[in-house]
Amino acid sequence: MASIHLYDLSTVAATLLYSIQTNDTKTAVEACSELVESGSTNLAVSTCRLGLSLAPFSSLSPTIMLSTDINVLLGAALSVGPYELPERRTPPLVPLVYSSKTVPWAPTSVTNHATIWIAIQDALKHRRIERAVFLASAVKEDADLTTLLASFGIDVTYSQWLPVVPRERVVFHAFSSLSTMKTVFPPPCSLRLPHPGKAGRTFTVPVEALQTWGISAPALSCLIGEPVWVALKACAALKPIITKCGIVGTATGIIARDDDALEEFYSAVFPDDIPDEWSAAERAKSHGQQGIVFRTNPWIPAFRFIL
């Protein structure tokens, strides 16, 4: 789907996520702004949440993850700094023995819950956070996972992350929080002003973003073609603009009725960068490079889920 400046929305989201991971503030702000201006604020929020949850544990306040303020979320995600993507290992087998001890946790989805709780307690005691996370992966129901975290005195805010970020990352951040009492509220990150200012394609979709997050760049003719073919499918924010400019949707794409309508569209969307004769290289700026080879990334399914 075309964004308001004829980027592909999925590649913009991949750019935002990769920019958070590499702590590229400028590109992250541009990509996030493009999503918001295109009417995809929910996608921007979910992408920032995923980027923040994949970061190593920090002392950020857990309530930040629940914020719907995109400036707050983006500021928090960029405050962590660059990081390598975490591994997603296969959890080891949970203990098969059954303990007769009484523990402060009574789930409905786990049979040997006392043994698991004691094993998690021991892992946390020795600061083996990943071991504790792996053990907790035996808990399949969100309600039981919520009571598990509460049984260790962990802020209930973490359990409210479950619908919005991968559960193993929720548990990782939650268990890690036991080792610190300090919480930090980083300053919000301001998005760009839509207008005035340079309008049009203000950032390039990095090849690395597409490789890392398994997104294929659309064909160079997908978002703009010759002579009056504008896009295959428009985002919500683009629809009133193309309607006003006399551009209509058809079964094969969004077509300008004539050259004048197309020029009016260009002037409205690209006042500083009217693409009368965009080269293939210029189109690739917003489409991304073709024919890339994807990298191994176990978190791609989580990213595709929020698209």
Mind listing the pLDDT tens digit for each residue in 87-120?
A: 887 766 666 677 778 999 999 988 889 999 999 9
Q: What is the pLDDT of residue 138?
A: 85
Helix, strand, coil shares of the chain as percentages rounded to 5? 45, 5, 50
β-strand pairing of 247-250 with 229-231:
unpaired
Q: Which helix (H) or strand (E) holds 302?
A: helix 300-306
Q: What is the pLDDT of residue 262?
A: 76
pTM of the shown model: 0.90
Query: Phi and psi dihedrals of 255, rounded to 5?
Result: -115, 135
Q: What is the pLDDT of residue 18?
A: 98
* E strands present in the chain: 229-231, 247-250, 253-256
Ramachandran region, residue 218 (left: φ > 0; alpha: ψ -120 to 50; beta: rest): beta
Q: What is the pLDDT of residue 22?
A: 98
Please list the ranges in the chain whose pLDDT falls under 50: none
Structure tokens at 96: 């098969």
Q: What is the pLDDT of residue 199?
A: 65
**What is the greatest pairwise CA distance in the chain?**
80
Q: Which amino acid is at 249?
A: G
